[in-house]
A = this chain, B = another copy of it.
Amino acid sequence: MRPQIATLLKGASIDQEITVMGWVRTFRNNQFIALNDGSTNQNLQVVVDFTKLDESLLKRITTSACIAATGKLVQSQGKGQSVELEAHSLEILGDSDAEKYPLQPKKHSLEFLREIAHLRFRTNTFASVNRLRNALIFGIHQFFQERNFLNIHTPIISASDAEGAGEMFRVTTLHLENLPKTDAGEIDYAEDFFGRSSNLTVSGQLEAELAAMAFTKVYTFGPTFRAENSNTTRHLAEFWMIEPEVAFNELKDNADLAESMLKYVIQYAMDRHPDDIDFLDARLAEEEKQKPTNERAEMGLKEKLNFVLNNNFERITYTEAIEILLLSPAYKKKKFKYDVSWGIDMQSEHERYLVEKHFNKPVIVTDYPKNIKAFYMRQNDNCEPGKETVAAMDILAPGIGEIIGGSQREERLEKLEQRMNEMEIPTKEMFWYLDTRRFGTCKHAGFGLGFERLVQFVTGMGNIRDVIPFPRTPKNCEF
């Protein structure tokens, strides 16, 4: 196997003759190549003896040229690196014309890099973000697998549009230029691929519940979709979601699971790629400096992540949250754009106040008003009339807002059917979901973690388009 630079920098293979392959980041003094192979954000210094190399070859050592360098790995003389490669031979595997290469060895704007997303993996920032993204993916799997959860692949294409979680994309093989019609003149979806109208999934939760009623502990990890025309730094049309679902769990167990999962995966990512965290910490500090003092975050990236790891998440009910808001200086000074009263769907400004001003740490808000939440959430018993709540929970994180939404599910058939009827959700079409309540039902709970929000939180990236390789947003489906 070819050695990777991450391994070499740890001191492996010292004094051995090796061949290293990678891409040139910089070339100084006709002598020092900073070589990167993506295994770490550190470059390997390759020292070449320009007196022995052909000048035509030296000219081809340009930014992003792909090279193979052979020589001996030795203790480095210079500062800032442990080892370096004394190369006695060098091969250009792929040229990179410096005149035409869009990435120059200087700072580019994130906006510009989004336009060349096919090349931005080669920048320090996006390489660090994607290594951490990978660590978070695997950390999540490992967390659940260690606890005997089964990963379930729930369907991406779905004919069910009952949940009402958001606007959906249609999936079709009909020829739009020549749509089949029924005798009544309507579009004949019986002619479509699935014999009916179908969409891209907005959530795998309902199917995960089916599996939890057999395996006790399951989780999904897959893409989900929203056809909403929202051009914000927090929304994507295509994003990845993790949805654990656990039989016999109640709301408190659900919150415990979510908190321990978040801490586990953050710790895992920090342990696996400390260099990338350091780099992004410095990057964010630099970015914050550009902001007016009163807009700067209270904590740096590493400080924030350590703070989350070392403190319990705050747990409050929705009713308590509203009380805090009503008593807040911000409310009294009329600084909120949206009004506050029991029953509102809290706005981003309210959530940010709770998380960033009042508690300054992640907050788990539970027991929301029934009327602003989904049909499948468990109705709390003994509510004050007019103040009915459900066993819902949202986890709000500093700088991100809602990162997790979940609930205990309504396991009682009658109450569930009644709620579905109230909300005009067709019970007949959803027979399969209701069957879990008919045959061996039990208390259960789960949540959804928006994966890109988690990556934002861990990397400190402000725009969600910068934490997924190829973002899909309104009017943008490049690459």
Contacts and interface: CB of A to CB of B under 8 A. Distances in A.
Interface in A154-176: 154-160, 167, 169-174, 176
Contacts of A472: 155, 157, 194
A409 interface: no
Interface of A: 2, 4, 6, 21-24, 37-39, 64-66, 93-97, 100-101, 118-119, 121-122, 127, 130-131, 133-134, 137-138, 141, 145, 148, 150-160, 167, 169-174, 176-177, 179, 186-187, 193-196, 198, 200, 207, 210-211, 213-217, 222-223, 225, 227, 229, 237-238, 240, 247-248, 411, 432-433, 435-443, 468-470, 472, 474-479
A225 B100 CA distance: 36
A94 B130 CA distance: 45
A470 B66 contact: no
Given A151-B137, A439-B96, A195 B66 contact: no
A2 B195 contact: no
Given A248-B2, A469-B153, A477-B159, A442 B127 contact: no
Among A24, A39, A229, chain B packs the most CB atoms within 10 A around the CB of A39
30 contacts: A4-B216, A21-B248, A23-B213, A24-B440, A37-B247, A38-B150, A38-B214, A66-B442, A93-B443, A94-B441, A94-B442, A118-B435, A119-B435, A119-B439, A121-B214, A121-B215, A122-B214, A137-B141, A137-B153, A138-B145, A152-B469, A156-B156, A159-B478, A160-B479, A170-B173, A170-B174, A177-B186, A193-B475, A207-B469, A432-B479
A216 B173 contact: no
A97 B438 CA distance: 8
B121 A211 contact: yes
A176 B171 contact: no
Contact of A127 (B158, B177, B200, B215): B215
Contact of A134 (B134, B150, B158, B195): B150
Nearest to A131: B150
A474 B65 contact: no
A477 B215 contact: no
A213 to B, nearest CB: 8
Contacts of A130: 150, 152, 211, 215
A341 to B, nearest CB: 35
B138 A157 contact: no
Contacts of A213: 23, 121-122
Assembly of this chain: how many copies?
A: 2
A194 B432 contact: no
Contact of A38 (B179, B186, B215, B469): B215
Contact of A215 (B39, B93, B207, B436): B39
Given A193-B237, A215-B39, A238-B156, A148 B100 contact: no
A170 to B, nearest CB: 5
B148 A39 contact: yes
Contacts of A174: 170, 176
Contact of A167 (B23, B65, B160, B173): B173
Most buried by B among A64, A153, A198, A441: A153
B439 A247 contact: no
Given A173-B227, A176-B174, A216-B39, A477 B439 contact: no
A133 B119 CA distance: 35
Nearest to A209: B118
A311 to B, nearest CB: 23
Contacts of A432: 118, 478-479
Contacts of A66: 440-442
A426 to B, nearest CB: 15
Listed residue (A118, A145, A169, A186) with the most chain B CB atoms within 10 angstroms of its CB:
A118
A439 B101 CA distance: 7
A159 B422 CA distance: 40
